[in-house]
């Protein structure tokens, strides 16, 4: 990660430096070009003065014409001594005055011309013009070796390219060192997290981290806290489950131990049971080694077995309702009316045996979800209602649509009973696992509503507890969110 960031930073900084170097080269060239244009204008103004400096033809043949340099030309040659020269030639190109190397051909017109030539390792700008002089029509030329445009190309490497290359190389080294130094706390943080034990979820000291890394450290601490809370919840869940299983198993073990002691105290023989609660089998006629059990003992064994079985089933349901395991399974279109009718048939015999009126008030509605989980949810709600409603009570299963004047239409699932209900100040706590309202009559595990709430959350639904008709009993309503959308109608 650090190496990649270092390379990216190096690239992001070197490319602008190179772009700036190119801009510098272009600006330097433009500056030299403007200076060269000024030099060309200067040479152009001096050419007529140089032509006027030729005052008369030669007195004798093979002698040069009479020359008296005009002050501007003389000042130019003096100021640029060693880098300036002139020449005067006739129309055939023969040198009459000046330096022989200053030549650029004979112009065919009287318009000034400019040429570049190299002499003695110096590039000169030569201005040539053909015109009338005191000695007749001649060709005058001025050479200037101080033209910045001519020197710019030669000095490009030394003045522009080399400094910029050195700058880019120095920037690369500086970036490499700076990134290594800047990311050292992040690397140390990564090493510290990697060296941690899976059980070590203690927070990282944010104050010891740089300000730029503190948001990451804060997020890591928050993640550690969430994982720690989840692990702690799992530990509490296992401890509570073990505690809840211990009670029925202890009762079952006590019964078995009692029977074992009775068996050891008698001669081995087939086991016989006395189903009369009051009287054991008559001593006479009982087979030697037989164990006499009352109906109450058998019922205790049965109840303990049922409670253990129900608890194991609920623990399995709670584990299967975990959101992480459910998210991997595809959703289905669930018919809530059909689900309610099926659960009515399932619990009808139990409710009738207890003397309850189990009713149905349903509409044809559908939701998107997991059918087996919604069945488990409704089963827990109906089982709780039947378990805690006294004989002669009424339990009603409902499903339908809530139409609000403001807001979207929502599908609901509801179970109402006229039992003891849940006090308002206890309704938040009964959703906790293994919690039972103090003073509750009957046996239970405290997992029914917890499972229902977990399944509701998986389906993005809200489980609401309320009071029944006339403030009696309990109404448990599951309101499904508009998304995933619910389809109304068969």
DSSP one-letter string for 225-252: HHHHHHHHHHHHHHHHHHHHHHHHHHHH
pLDDT at 344: 93
Structure tokens of 389?
């409603």
What is the pLDDT of the chain when averaged over all its residues? 76
Please tell me the distance from the alpha carbon of residue 348 to that of residue 357, in angstroms, as a whole number: 9
Mean pLDDT of 140-148: 81
Q: Are strands 394-402 and 357-362 parallel, antiparallel or unpaired?
A: parallel
pLDDT for 433: 66
266 phi/psi in degrees, rounded to 5:
-120, 170
Alpha carbon of residue 443 to chain centroid: 48
Q: Is the pLDDT of residue 275 over 60?
A: no
Q: Which candidate, 320, 450, 340, 462, places its Cα nearest to that of 384?
A: 450
Judged against a pLDDT cut of 90, whether residue 488 lies above it is answered with: no
Query: Does residue 410 contact residue 402 with C-beta atoms inside 8 Å?
Result: yes
Which pLDDT does position 87 carry in this prediction?
A: 92
pLDDT band at 278 (very low <50, low <70, confident <90, very high): very low
Peptide bond before 39: cis, by omega within 30 degrees of 0? Answer: no
Given this model, what pLDDT does residue 345 score? Answer: 93
Positive/negative CA dihedral, 417, 420, 425, 429: negative
Residues 248 and 475: their CA atoms lie apart, in Å, by 30
Helix/strand/coil for 412: strand
The predicted pLDDT at position 4 comes to: 67
Give DSSP secondary structure letters for 330-342: PPEEEEHHHHHHH
Q: Which among 356, 352, 423 is positioned nearest to 389, based on CA atoms?
A: 356
205 pLDDT band, cuts 50/70/90, is: confident
pLDDT at 328: 52
CA–CA distance from 49 to each of 11, 59, 292, 432 (Å)? 57, 22, 148, 109
Helical segments of 109-161, H only: 148-156
**What pTM did the predictor assign?**
0.44
Backbone angles phi, psi at 103, to 5 degrees: -150, 150
Full set of structural domains in the chain with CATH: 1-154 (3.30.450), 197-264+294-328 (1.10.287), 330-480 (3.30.565.10)
First-last CA distance in the chain: 56
Which value, in Å, is the radius of gyration of the alpha carbons in the chain?
A: 53
**Distance between CA atoms of 130 and 385, rounded to whole angstroms?**
121
Q: 422 with 446: CB under 8 angstroms?
A: no
The predicted structure's pLDDT at residue 153: 57
User: For residues 23 and 258, what is the distance between their CA atoms, to the nearest angstrom?
Assistant: 100
Kindly state the percentage of the chain with pLDDT values over 70. 68
Taking residues 47-75, report their average pLDDT. Answer: 87
425: exposed, middle or buried (C-beta count within 10 Å: 0-12, 13-18, 19+)? exposed
Q: How many CA atoms lie within 13 A of 294 on its CB side?
A: 8
pLDDT in tens, 332-391: 889 999 999 999 999 999 999 889 999 999 999 999 888 888 988 898 899 888 988 888
For residue 23, give every residue at least 6 positions away whose Cβ sits within 8 Å of its Cβ, in sequence order, or none. Answer: none
* Helix boundaries (H) for 82-213: 148-156, 162-182, 184-195
User: For residue 279, what pLDDT is reported?
Assistant: 47
| Top-confidence residue, 313 or 219 | 219
d(CA 446, CA 314): 10
- Please check the confidence at residue 269 and state whether its pLDDT lies above 50: no
CB 320 within 8 A of CB 348: no
> Given this model, what pLDDT does residue 338 score?
94
Residue 456 has pLDDT above 80, yes or no: yes
Separation between Cα atoms, residue 452 and residue 376, nearest integer Å: 8
């Amino acid at each position: 990660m650090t190496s990649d960031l270092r390379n990216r930073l190096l690239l992001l900084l070197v490319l602008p430096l190179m772009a700036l170097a190119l801009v510098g080269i272009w600006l330097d060239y433009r500056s030299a070009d403007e200076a060269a244009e000024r030099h060309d204008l200067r040479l152009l103004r001096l050419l007529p003065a140089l032509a006027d400096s030729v005052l008369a033809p030669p007195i004798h043949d093979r002698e040069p014409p009479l020359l008296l340099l005009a002050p501007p030309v003389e000042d130019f040659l003096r100021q640029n001594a060693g880098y300036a020269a002139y020449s005067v030639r006739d129309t055939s190109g023969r040198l009459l005055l000046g330096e022989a190397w200053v030549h650029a051909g004979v112009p065919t017109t009287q318009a000034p011309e400019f040429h570049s030539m190299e002499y003695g390792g110096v590039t000169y700008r030569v201005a040539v013009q053909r015109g009338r002089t005191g000695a007749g029509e001649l060709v005058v030329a001025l050479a200037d070796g101080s033209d910045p445009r001519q020197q710019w190309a030669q000095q490009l490497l030394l003045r522009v390219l080399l400094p910029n290359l050195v700058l880019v190389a120095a920037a690369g080294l500086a970036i490499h060192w700076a990134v290594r130094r800047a990311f050292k706390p992040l690397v140390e943080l990564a090493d510290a997290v990697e060296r941690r034990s899976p059980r070590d979820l203690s927070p990282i000291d944010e104050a010891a981290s740089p300000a730029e890394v503190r948001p990451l450290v804060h997020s890591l601490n928050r993640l550690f806290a969430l994982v720690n809370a989840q692990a702690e919840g799992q530990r509490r869940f296992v401890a509570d489950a073990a505690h809840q299983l211990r009670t029925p198993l202890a009762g079952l073990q006590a019964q078995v131990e009692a029977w074992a002691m009775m068996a050891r105290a008698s001669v081995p023989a087939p086991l016989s049971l006395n189903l009369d609660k009051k009287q054991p089998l008559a001593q006479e006629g009982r087979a030697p080694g037989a164990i006499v059990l009352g109906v109450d003992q058998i019922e205790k064994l049965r109840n303990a077995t049922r409670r253990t079985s129900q608890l194991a089933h609920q623990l399995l349901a709670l584990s299967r309702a975990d959101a992480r395991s459910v998210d991997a399974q595809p959703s289905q279109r669930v018919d809530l009316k059909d689900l309610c009718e099926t659960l009515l048939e399932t619990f009808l015999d139990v409710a009738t045996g207890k003397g309850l009126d189990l009713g149905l008030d349903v509409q044809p509605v559908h939701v998107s979800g997991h059918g087996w989980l919604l069945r488990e949810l409704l089963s827990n709600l109906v089982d709780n209602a039947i378990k805690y409603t006294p004989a002669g009570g009424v339990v009603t299963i409902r499903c339908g649509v809530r139409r609000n004047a403001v807001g979207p239409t929502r599908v609901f699932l509801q179970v109402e009973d006229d039992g003891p209900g849940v006090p308002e100040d206890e309704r938040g706590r009964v959703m906790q696992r293994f919690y039972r309202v103090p003073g509750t009559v009957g046996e239970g595990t405290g997992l029914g509503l917890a499972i229902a709430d977990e399944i509701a959350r998986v389906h993005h639904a809200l489980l609401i507890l309320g009071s029944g008709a006339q403030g009696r009993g309990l109404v448990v309503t599951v309101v499904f969110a508009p998304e995933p959308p619910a389809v109304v109608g068969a």
